[in-house]
Amino acid sequence: MSAVLRTRGLGISFGAFRAVDDVNLTLEPGARQALIGPNGAGKTTLINLLTGVFKPTHGTIHMGERELTALSADKRARMGLARTFQINTLFPSLTPLLSVVLAISERDGLGAVWWRPLKRNKAAFDEAHALLGRLKLDALADVPVAELAYGKQRLLEIALAMAARPRILLLDEPAAGVPEDESGELFEAIAELPQDISVLFIEHDMNLVFRFSRRISVLVAGRILTEGSPAEIGRDPRVREVYLGHGAAHV
Ligand SMILES: Nc1ncnc2c1ncn2[C@@H]1O[C@H](COP(=O)(O)OP(=O)(O)O)[C@@H](O)[C@H]1O
Ligand SMILES: [Mg+2]
C-alpha cells in the first residue's frame, strides 16, 4: 500500500538545538498510529512540521505523490490534513451544533457570511447533526460548550476537525486533561472514525496507546527510536528503558 503521508529526513533546529532530527515517518491509509515518547521528545514539534506551523530545516514531507514541504498550513488543511491541539481551542459560549455548522461553512468558503441566518443553511445543519451523531454528541448539540464535560469538549474538537473532511487527522494528546473514565469513550470514537481516514495520535496513557493503536512510533530526543505493532513495541527492551521510572506500567 502506498503511504498517505511520508516524511524523509525531516528535521528542525531551534538555534543549535535539533528538536526533530532525521525523521522518516509514514502513515498508511486508514492508519490508527500512535506517536509516543517522553516529554520534550519533539512529538508536538513533529506535528507542527507536518501541518505547516513550522518549516523544516531539513527533509521533505509528501502527501501521496504531492510534496507539502513548502506549502502553507492553510493549503495543507485544504488538501485534507486536519489537526487538533494539546489545548482546548473551543468557543465556550457557542453550542456544539453551531460550532460544527461554522466549521462546515468555513470549509465551503462561506465563513465570511456567518451573520446570515444560519438556519437557512439546511444542508450544513444536517451534516453537522450527522457528524455530532457519529461522535455521540447529538444529545448535547444545543448545550453551550462551557457546560460540557471536558471529554465531550475534546470530542467536539475532533468533530470540528472532521468538518473539514480530512483524509489525515493528527491528534495531539486528545485525552489531555480528560478524566480517566471519559478517555476510553473518547478513543472509542476515534477508533470508529471512517476507515478511509488515517489517524496519527500523540498519547501518554500506555493503556490507551496499546488498546487503540495498530502501529506505534517511538520518538526520543527528536529521533524515531523504533516503530512497530503494539506487540513488537511492548517487548522492545529499548522502549522499556526509555519509559523506566516514568510510571508506564504497560511498556
Ligand atoms: N518554538 C520553539 N522554540 C524553541 N524550542 C522549542 C520550540 N518548540 C519546541 N521547542 C523545544 O523542542 C523540544 C520538543 O518539544 P515538544 O515538541 O513540545 O515535545 P513533546 O510534544 O514531545 O513533549 C522541547 O525541548 C521544546 O522546548
Ligand atoms: Mg507535546
Q: Is 11 in the pocket of ligand 1 (CB under 6 A)?
A: no
**87 against 240, higher pLDDT:** 240
For residues 53-77, give the mean pLDDT: 96
3-state secondary structure of 71: coil
Gap between the Cα atoms of 133 and 150, Å rounded: 18
The per-residue pLDDT for range 182-230, each reduced to its tens digit, is 999 999 999 999 999 999 999 999 999 999 999 999 999 999 999 999 9
Task: Return the pLDDT at 2.
Answer: 80
Residues 6+ apart with CB under 8 A from 243: 38, 206, 251
Rounded CA separation 202/47 (Å): 9
Give the ligand at the shortest distance from the Cα of 41.
1
pLDDT tens digits along 137-192: 999 999 999 999 999 999 999 999 999 999 999 999 999 889 999 999 999 999 99
Q: What distance in Å separates the CA atoms of residue 13 and residue 23, rounded to the nearest whole number?
A: 13
- Distance between CA atoms of residues 242 and 47, nearest Å: 21
Ligand 1, atom nearest to 47 Cα: 17
C-beta of 45 in contact with ligand 1 (< 6 A): yes
Q: Is 14 in the pocket of ligand 1 (CB under 6 A)?
A: yes
What is the structure's pLDDT at 131?
Answer: 96
Nearest ligand, CA 19: 1
State how far the alpha carbon of 111 is from the alpha carbons of 101, 102, 103, 250, in Å. Answer: 10, 7, 8, 45
With pLDDT > 70 as the criterion, what percentage of the chain qualifies? Answer: 92
What the chain holds in terms of domains, given with CATH numbers, is 5-244 (3.40.50.300)
Instruction: Work out the mean pLDDT of the chain and round it to a whole number.
Output: 91
pLDDT tens-digit series, residues 88-97: 778 899 999 9
Q: Which of 193, 186, 132, 192 is nearest to 168 (CA)?
A: 193
Residue 39 near ligand 1, beta carbon < 6 Å: yes
Strand partners, 66: 63
Among all ligands shown, which has an atom nearest to the Cα of 53?
1
pLDDT band for position 106 (50/70/90)?
Answer: confident
Cα(241) to ligand 1 centroid in Å equals 22
Pocket of ligand 1 contains residue 55 by CB under 6 Å: no
- pLDDT at residue 115, as a whole number: 58
pLDDT for 128 equals: 95
Strand-strand pairing, 66-67 and 81-84: unpaired
Amino acid at 206: M
